[in-house]
Amino acid sequence: MEVAGYDRARVLKAFDDAKTGVKGLVDAGVEKIPQIFVTPPDIVAQTSDTNREDFSIPVIDLEGSEKDSIVEKIRHASETWGFFQVVNHGIPVSVLDEMVCGVRRFFEQDTEVKKQFYTRDVTRKIVYNSNFDLYSSPVANWRDTFFCFMAPNPPKPEELPDACRDIQIEYSKLILSLGFRLFGLLSEALGLERSHLMDMDCAKGLTFVCHYYPACPEPELTLGASKHTDDGFLTVLLQDQIGGLQVFLENQWINVRPVPGALVVNIGDLLQLISNDKFRSVEHRVVANREGPRVSVACFFSTSLAPSTKLYGPIKELISEDNPPKYRETTVQEYVSYSYFKGLDGTSPLLHFRV
Ligand SMILES: O=C(O)CCC(=O)C(=O)O
Ligand SMILES: [Fe+2]
């Protein structure tokens, strides 16, 4: 929001140059959030009762009874909610807990060491900064992040941060095998051969996006993450027990309640595109909280981000005369860079690819 006589560009640059992110502000004891974070009240507002017991995203037990019913539950959730949580997914709780601790150690380590990772050069192996869209978005979010590509060409172990190297390597192996399993189930849920989505390279690339949402002194004035959809094929999210993630469904914000040991799975834009809108990539956001820090790890599955001319459009088996393609074909690189440079401005990048 603009305030007369206020040089937003200069304030953003000073915030960025400090390389200490939102955590740096909290450590310095701010009691009021700086203007760059102040978000219009209608955007922060809750729409209605977000704690309705009868309206929460499904929790699916991957070791549950018959496989057919798991596929059916995943199909239903992907068509209606675009989100579900999975339990009994094969990743031990001790690994989930250590991953959250590792991310926390990264953000809470010595500032001078952490600053070495601070960059906006996305060709670097580890990219730590605050608000990837700081200069393009109308408001900044109360969040710091680091990300790195873990597949198909992971950084060398010595390139990973000391604070979370071992657990990142272990978690990425387990998340890749869970991802393969989920893509098998999603393929079947689309009525395709089990290997269809994997054969399209939907799980070839894995990016870890690790968020740190410091406690916020004025949570009613800002957001942890503005509303957006995810641009890859699928996201598997690990969140701690603080909560704050919300999904926009039936015109209201629904809390994605932390379930101990569960992982949150959501359909990304590219899966909506290739499924010709059968599966939904649903808008979500993270509210700010007086309590914190909140830690989350979003694992984005996409193709390898190495330049490729391979085109992705609605899957031929899913389209017909009655269900013509709703999107033009695109390369993953074109889609992802369009989405990245657009930033979290509240509109879906999918619209740009509609025919
Ligand atoms: O922190 C969260 O719960 C969500 C993060 C998210 O939506 C994202 O990284 O795309
Ligand atoms: Fe997201």
Cβ of 284 below 6 Å from ligand 1? yes
ipTM of this predicted structure = 0.99
Residue 37 counted as domain residue: yes
Residue 107 and residue 61: Cα distance in Å, rounded?
A: 32
- The closest alpha carbon to 25, from 197, 147, 143, belongs to 143
In the block, which residue shows the tokens 């798991």? 70
Q: What is the pTM of this model?
A: 0.95
Please list, residue by residue across 212-240, b when 16 or more beta carbons sit within 10 angstroms of its beta carbon and e when fewer do: bbbbbbebebbbbbbbbbbbbbbbbbbbb
> What percent of the chain is modeled with pLDDT above 90?
86
Residue 3 counted as domain residue: no
Count: domains in the chain: 1
Confidence band of 48 (pLDDT split at 50, 70, 90):
low
Residue 121 counted as domain residue: yes
In the block, which residue shows the tokens 């790890």? 297
Of 99, 103, 211, 242, best ligand 1 pocket probe by most atoms within 8 Å of the beta carbon: 211
In CATH, what number is assigned to the domain containing residue 89?
A: 2.60.120.330
Confidence band of 55 (pLDDT split at 50, 70, 90):
confident
Q: Which domain holds residue 261?
A: 8-353
Residue 62 counted as domain residue: yes
Q: Give one DSSP letter per residue of 78-125, joined into a string.
A: HHHTSEEEEES-S--HHHHHHHHHHHHHHHHS-HHHHHTTB-S-TTSS
> What integer pLDDT is reported at residue 261 of this predicted model?
97
Residue 253 counted as domain residue: yes
pLDDT digits (tens, 9 = 90+) for 97-133: 999 999 999 999 999 999 999 999 999 999 999 999 9
Output the CA–CA distances (angstroms, integers) from residue 288 to 33, 124, 222, 259, in the order listed.
11, 29, 6, 19
Residue 2 counted as domain residue: no
* Ligand closest to CA 208: 1
Residue 85 and residue 263: Cα distance in Å, rounded?
A: 5
